[in-house]
Copies of this chain bind each other. A is one copy, B any other.
């Protein structure tokens, strides 16, 4: 087990109708003025916006609002948000939405106390020293940002999409009502499922000194998501399936499934380049094509771990580890296919000619290697993995 520090302080309010308590919850922490941050307006058509506003008003709390966060949230909106938060002197950012809205809220929360461009945090030029507290009402099970320290922002100008981690940005509380995810369509649900799996997947394949308890948790979580994922796709209003996905989304990315490991997220780096170059490519969609390709690329180095993956996630047995590893890849592809997640990058509009640009985005023009599960991935490795996805 590798030394670690770990804290996951987010208070979770989980269950039906919990969002109606948001005013009382905010008040219980003593906050007085909220910046309500949200996306493209689906919370207005669903009626959630009205419920939140009513609850906030009923407790006589003040609020400002900033909507318009898109998938792959942008540097530009973050800067707007910081200015607004400072002008209005809010004491809490309330993110109502999914990972994009929450990440945008995190960037605003850290930017509030920083004189420069908050994107400096994403470029790893400087670390946040202080941040406004963040509350969340979650509307999609996917990114786990409601409990994670990570914050991923995109800059359309440079096509750079980059994340950073800071425990100051772990939300103070997260309201999680699975019913709010009933309206998430099949495609977004599938992308969320892949994203949830990916967070424990990358932790599982991160190195440690031996098999860890967190490895067992990671494989249990992936198995559970495979079990309930199909149900959530087939029956969007199945409470138990939606609840399981929502809880799994949080526990897959709060750090739990990587405790005692030297975690790295190489596949995420590749996926970020995709969304950086084409912002309409959802994170989970890119991951669905990339994960099996990565598995094939490292099969000889990760044979044993892949075999354990097949055994624990899919409850299958086999003659030897190499057979098991191949089964792991095939079964995971089958699962992705069954939920209609994309299996190739072609399906996402990526062609062979895009690969050099993608490689340059991942490696910052060849100046950095990526990740350390198995071994650092250089330019050639990354190119090969992208080519395997086409």
Contact = CB atoms under 8 A, between A and B. Distances in A.
A307 interface: no
A264 to B, nearest CB: 19
Interface in A237-268: 239-240, 243-244, 247-248, 251, 256, 259-260
Contacts of A14: 1, 3-6, 259-260
B260 A243 contact: yes
A224 B214 CA distance: 10
A13 interface: yes
Nearest to A245: B213
Contact of A244 (B1, B3, B8): B1
Contacts of A13: 5
A88 to B, nearest CB: 28
Interface stretch (A75-83, A215-223, A282-290, A355-363): A215-223
A343 to B, nearest CB: 26
A129 interface: no
Interface of A: 1-16, 18, 178, 209-210, 212-213, 216-217, 220-221, 223-224, 239-240, 243-244, 247-248, 251, 256, 259-260
B5 A213 contact: no
Given A1-B243, A4-B14, A5-B11, A216 B209 contact: no
A213 B209 contact: no
Given A213-B220, A216-B224, 11 more contacts: A1-B243, A1-B244, A3-B14, A3-B16, A3-B18, A5-B11, A7-B9, A9-B9, A14-B259, A213-B221, A247-B259
A12 B4 contact: yes
A11 B4 contact: no
Nearest to A1: B243
Contacts of A209: 240
Nearest to A252: B213
Nearest to A251: B213
Contacts of A1: 14, 178, 239-240, 243-244, 247
Nearest to A13: B5
A200 to B, nearest CB: 11
A189 to B, nearest CB: 17
A203 to B, nearest CB: 14
Contacts of A213: 220-221, 224, 244, 247-248, 251
Which of A16, A209, A247 counts the most B-chain CB atoms under 10 A from its CB? A247
Nearest to A315: B311
Contacts of A259: 14, 247
A149 to B, nearest CB: 12
B5 A244 contact: no
Contact of A12 (B5, B239, B244): B5
Nearest to A240: B210
Contacts of A16: 3
Nearest to A173: B7
A145 to B, nearest CB: 17
Nearest to A170: B9
Contacts of A10: 7
A2 B7 CA distance: 25
A251 B213 CA distance: 10
Contacts of A217: 217, 220-221
A61 to B, nearest CB: 21
8 contacts: A1-B240, A1-B247, A5-B11, A5-B12, A7-B11, A9-B9, A212-B244, A216-B224
A285 to B, nearest CB: 24
A220 B2 CA distance: 20
A178 B11 CA distance: 28
Contact of A15 (B4, B210, B251): B4
